Amino acid sequence: MPDYVPTNAASSGVRLDKKTLKSIATRTDRPGLIWLAQWTLGLVATGTLVWAALGTVWVWPAMLLHGTLLTVPAYAASHETAHGTAFRSRWLNEAVLWVSSFIFIEEPLHRRYSHTNHHTHTWHVGEDSQMPYNIPLRFAEWFAATTGIIPLIYHVKVLYVLATRNFSDMILKFTPEPELPKMTRNARIMIALYVLIAVLPLAGIWWPVWFIILPRVLGTPVMILLVLIQHAELQENSPSILESTRSFTTNRVMAFLYMNMNNHVEHHLYPQVPFHALPKLAEAVKDQVPEPDHGFVRTCAELGLVVLRRSLGRSTKAPTIRQAPRMITDGGPIHSIAQKTM
């Protein structure tokens, strides 16, 4: 028997009768295909804007828009397909996992296994391999992460580590040994493709710069803001997802880009539920979970304010977003609670 309890609905005291859960978790290809088609059409539209704006100053806002539409859904799709819940057809799921993980810059098996570990040990210090910042979060780290610098360094480092077989203890912990050679092979293929894309301008081919590379860089901040609010200011080492994880309300556009993952508490409770059914799941468990925080922008702004105040030695009580009691202080020196694992 393992010496831990996986963090999920059971460990959180949330119950849903089996028939309801089964009806919600039913897997089909259609919603995923519709989402994929809409994403592709959106990319064609914003890509056209970039093309039309080339040579003008308007190319930068166009690339920001295109980049956000490229990066956030790639992150969300990589996550959903790492779970295997985006489609009923397995081949479709794995194909989208590869493409989206390539855009996200993470080797697909590493994506899957590290996230598996994250679900088993959600927000457990030293166990959760996807703690992207030190706890408590400070302004300098929040800012560096939001610019995309820290995540980029992390992704490049992981690819290098996998490609050179210089595995960290954490990777060895969450990856079954037979999978390591596959991860090395995949990382090498991905690095070769990234190098190829990087040298294309030397051959006079610039379209990847305007349509992929710069947009991917510009789209990172919104993606990181989404990542940061998933667990920030909440309780570490708790068996309950209700204490460690945050859901927030948002508009239809953001819900689409993020594949409904604003229902993050519900996702961690029942990770087998596909993205399109998360609103239905949220409705089914709403009496058993905390009220979601209000809006993406407001949640991000309050988190930014809290970490700024913490770094200035001021009180850290947020106006409305949920916080673990120990995250709320009257100010003064910051006492470190946990080291990041990413």
Partner 1 sequence: MNQWIDACAPDDIDEEDLIAWEHAGRKYAIYNTEKGFFASDLMCTHEEQSLEDGLVIDCVIECPLHGGRFDVCTGKALSAPVLVDLKTYPVKVESGRVFVQVEG
Residues of this chain that interact with partner 1 (CB under 8 A) are 1-2, 6, 8, 18, 21-22, 25-27, 83-85, 88, 90, 109, 112-113, 116, 119-120, 176, 178-179, 270-272
State whether residue 214 is helix, strand or coil. Answer: helix
Contacts of 283 (CB under 8 A, 6+ apart): none
Q: What angle do CA 64, 191, 60 make, to 5 degrees?
A: 15
Of 271 and 290, nearer to partner 1 (C-beta) is: 271
Residue 147 structure tokens = 């610019």
Report the alpha-carbon distance of residue 111 to residue 82 in Å, rounded. 7
Of 117 and 323, nearer to partner 1 (C-beta) is: 117
Task: Provide the greatest CA pair distance for the chain.
Answer: 63
Cβ of residue 150: shortest distance to partner 1, in angstroms? 27
Cβ of residue 91: shortest distance to partner 1, in angstroms? 11
Report the alpha-carbon distance of residue 100 to residue 155 in Å, rounded. 14
Cβ of residue 3: shortest distance to partner 1, in angstroms? 10
Of 120 and 299, nearer to partner 1 (C-beta) is: 120
How far apart, in Å, are the Cα atoms of 267 and each of 79, 224, 225? 11, 18, 18
Cβ of residue 5: shortest distance to partner 1, in angstroms? 9
Cβ of residue 233: shortest distance to partner 1, in angstroms? 26
Of 142 and 174, nearer to partner 1 (C-beta) is: 174
Other beta carbons less than 10 A from residue 314's beta carbon: 15
Of 69 and 284, nearer to partner 1 (C-beta) is: 284
